Amino acid sequence: MALTGARRANIVEMQQGPRPLVVAGIHSCRSARPTTAPPPKPAGASEFASAVIFRQFTHFVADFQMTQYVSTDTSRGILECGPPSAEERYSERYRRQISELLNRVADGESPLGILRAYLPGDVALEQSRRVRSHRLLSAYERAPEIKKLGSPYYDAVRTAKTEAEYWCTASQAISQIRAMFAPQLAPIDSIRLDLQDFGRQDVNPLRNALGQVAFAGLARVFDSAGTLPHCDRLDWDAPRERFRGTPTSQVAANVYLEVPEVGGEIEIWDLVPSFEEHEGLSIANSYGLDRRKLGPPAWVVKPRTGDVVFFDARCVHAVRPSTHGLRVTSSAFLVQFSKHGAFYIYS
Ligand SMILES: O=C(O)CCC(=O)C(=O)O
């Protein structure tokens, strides 16, 4: 990732509440819009060429709006967008930002992108309530302090048998998650749809060699527990499975349905370890890495209820323990198998 080692030393915590950085909002975007009218409707033989020019023009406008809309705090490299006004929330222009943030994180331009208030607070909290009270909520096999709903690939790959079961039941697990959130869209489905409709690349379900669909849309409840520092990598989790080659990027997408008052921050280290480095940092018989060997994280971010956060899942990252409330999320990974190629989604 194109992040300098100098940033490692630059540890700044993002606190909840007003920030010194001015986030460009909807109204400043509107005033920044070019006042020129779109080109006139093309006619006759030049129709195709005019359509291409018009498309380039709309991309130019979208890029222009993006630079006005997302603020980059260059000292931290974190991208932040929103929160939107109520009428802007479902607009194409706001939804397009999701894809811009995802692309910039996937391309290594930024360690982390935050879309503020993607879900209205009351919707997020109602979705959290459904997750927390669901009868199928169960502990992670290898991190029992965290509860989950759905079928994480990481747990499935323990043996050939559990992996085979995973592929046979993944689509059923997707249906269960959708039923729980209905009539609302499941948060990860909503992101996926916005990326598909307004983004630059297709977003497809990850499939195995037999064409079976992977599960996406894991819901998680962190009671007071956080996670150990770790990396998420499809290529390390799936040595038996052949996908489309080796991933060139893996971005974690998390939607925050409820956040605790104290703690629950995401910590990210400016480090994508090689497999050998990872082995050297590992705690024996654990998914996690030894903090003492890592030093302090380069970025610490506190999400708010309704936010979406994208970060490079191959970077070492962790969740801080919390008090005074639960931390409930809906999450997935977006993987690319070629630079600027389509995304493939799984949890
Ligand atoms: O819940 C979060 O903020 C991040 C969780 C995490 O560690 C992950 O998605 O790999």
- Band of residue 45 on the pLDDT scale cut at 50, 70, 90: low
In the chain, the DSSP E strands lie at 12-13, 71-73, 78-81, 112-115, 138-139, 146-149, 203-205, 218-222, 249-258, 262-263, 266-268, 299-301, 308-312, 317-319, 322-323, 327-336, 343-346
In this structure, the residue with its CA closest to atom 3 of ligand 1 is 266
* Separation of CA 276 and ligand 1 centre (Å): 23
- State which ligand 1 atom lies nearest to the alpha carbon of 252: 9
Atom of ligand 1 nearest to the CA of 220: 1
The preferred substitution site among 128, 140, 218, 227 for testing ligand 1, maximizing ligand atoms within 8 Å of CB, is: 227
Which pLDDT score, from 0 to 100, does residue 110 have? 92
Q: Which of 317, 330, 334 most suits a substitution to test ligand 1, by most atoms within 8 Å of the C-beta?
A: 317
Please say whether the beta carbons of 247 and 153 come within 8 A: no
Least confident of 47-51, 129-133, 256-260, 329-333: 47-51
> Around 337, how many Cα atoms within 13 Å sit in the side-chain half-sphere?
15
Looking at residue 158, what is its pLDDT? 85
Maximum CA extent, the chain:
70
Substitution candidate for ligand 1 out of 188, 266, 299, 322 with most atoms within 8 A of CB:
266
How many angstroms from the chain centroid is the CA of residue 37? Answer: 36
Q: For ligand 1, what atom is nearest to the CA of residue 329?
A: 1
205 contacts 214 by C-beta, under 8 angstroms: yes
* 3 state SS of 294: helix
Class (C level, CATH) for 76-346:
mainly beta
Ligand 1 geometric centre to CA of 319 (Å): 6
Q: What is the pLDDT of residues 135-160, one digit of tens each?
A: 999 998 778 889 999 999 998 988 88
Query: 149 — phi, psi (to 5°)?
Result: -130, 120
Atom of ligand 1 nearest to the CA of 333: 9
pLDDT in tens, 227-286: 999 999 999 998 767 788 889 999 999 999 999 999 999 999 999 999 999 999 999 999
Q: Region 113-122: what's the mean pLDDT?
A: 96
Contact 65, 88 (CB under 8 A): no
Condensed to tens digits (0 to 9), the pLDDT of residues 48-92 reads 555 555 555 555 554 444 444 444 444 468 999 999 998 999 999
| pLDDT for 3 beyond 50 | no
17 falls in which pLDDT band (50, 70, 90)?
very low
Query: Can you give the residue ranges of every domain in the chain?
Result: 76-346
CA 307 to ligand 1 centroid distance, Å? 13
Which amino acid residue places its CA nearest to atom 5 of ligand 1?
Answer: 319
113 Cα to the center of ligand 1, angstroms: 14
In the predicted structure, residue 178 carries a pLDDT above the cut 60: yes
Tokens encoding 259: 């956040």
CA of 43 to the centre of ligand 1 (A): 52
CA of 265 to the centre of ligand 1 (A): 10
User: How far is it, in rounded angstroms, from Cα 294 to Cα 292?
Assistant: 6
Test site for ligand 1: of 131, 319, 335, 346, most ligand atoms within 8 A of the Cβ: 319
Which residues form the pocket of ligand 1, taking CB atoms under 6 Å from any ligand atom? 227, 232, 252, 254, 266, 313, 317, 319, 329, 331
Q: How far is the CA of 137 from the centre of ligand 1 (A)?
A: 18
CA of residue 291 to ligand 1 center, whole Å: 17
> Mean pLDDT lowest for which of 122-126, 133-137, 234-238, 315-319?
234-238
Distance 117 CA to ligand 1 centre (A): 18
